[in-house]
Amino acid sequence: MKVFLKNKKIFVGIFIILCIFLGLFSFNRLSPTLFERSFGFIITPIQNAITSSNKWLGKKIKAFSDINKLEKENEDLKLELELKSQEISRLKQLERENKKLSELLDASSKYGELSTITSNIIAKDPGNWYETFIIDKGAKDGIEKNMVVLAFGGLVGKVEEVGDSYAKVSSIINGTYSVTSKTLRSDDEGFVKGDIANKGMLKMDYIDKDAEIKEGDEIVTSHLSDIYPAGITIGSVTEIHLDTDNKLSKTATIKPAVDFKHLEKVLIINKSNK
């Protein structure tokens, strides 16, 4: 009995192996053998199961392959996008620098009779406004104290302090000094300085009460100055008030021609050119 059971197990095992073997090597053939037909009722389900498994496995392998491919393509696209973004930023910076240089060239051309030295701003006092700042030119470049400083639009201020390779500029908006000035249209005179109460703006004091000055007038440096060449644009009038104390003079609010929040480069007028 034990021998029979043992032989039966061996027979069943061989039979199963044979079925699997036949299933593996015959599911793609068009004409099954006599033996395969005889055992078709057993082999067919095995074939179907193996075929389905192969198809399922093939799909999974392809899906994983596609995912890996997409991930690589995604990484490549991210890198390409980053490179493009950096290139766009670089081009924008170049465009911005070209604009600044063009504006500076326009300022230089406006006062073409004056010899100027181009300089970069390398530091400034804390705050939003360029009230006091440092430039990268100094005594070795011919810079001297009280040299006049220009930018796109017109007057910036003057050189306050000079080192060997740097200089400190005090801009007109800081309110520490006045500039003799006049209206370009009517020659009405006054003194312009930074308006402490109205940051970033200027005020023109000691205008005669009968002066023809009006809103929109361009204000320029006067010929009476011992530092500033005549005719340099300072700004334009936005408001006019009669002085309440003496009723004998007017005060005008002036919007600077220069953008004192976004200075980068300036022009220094040689002292000998005044």
Residue-wise pLDDT tens digits, 196-251: 889 899 999 999 999 999 999 999 999 898 899 999 999 999 999 988 777 789 99
Rounded Cα–Cα distance for residues 224 and 182 (Å): 10
Lowest mean pLDDT among 97-101, 142-146, 171-175: 97-101
Rounded Cα–Cα distance for residues 30 and 174 (Å): 98
- Higher-pLDDT residue of 95 and 195 is 195
* CATH class belonging to 111-274: mainly beta
Helix/strand/coil for 40 = helix
Rounded Cα–Cα distance for residues 86 and 78 (Å): 12
CA dist list (Å): 26 to 23, 42, 207: 6, 13, 111
Nearest CA to 251 out of 201, 199, 177, 200 is that of 201
Residue 104: is its pLDDT beyond 50?
yes
H-helix segments, 39-133:
40-110
pLDDT tens for 111-139 read: 666 788 889 999 998 888 999 999 999 99
Domain extent listing, the chain: 2-60, 111-274
Mode of pairing for the β-strands spanning 132-135 and 167-171: antiparallel
Task: Give residue 109's pLDDT band: very low, low, confident or very high (50, 70, 90).
Answer: low
Task: Give residue 4's pLDDT band: very low, low, confident or very high (50, 70, 90).
Answer: very low
Asked if residues 133 and 171 have their Cβ atoms less than 8 Å apart, the reply is yes
User: Can you tell me which residue has the tokens 């068009």?
Assistant: 30
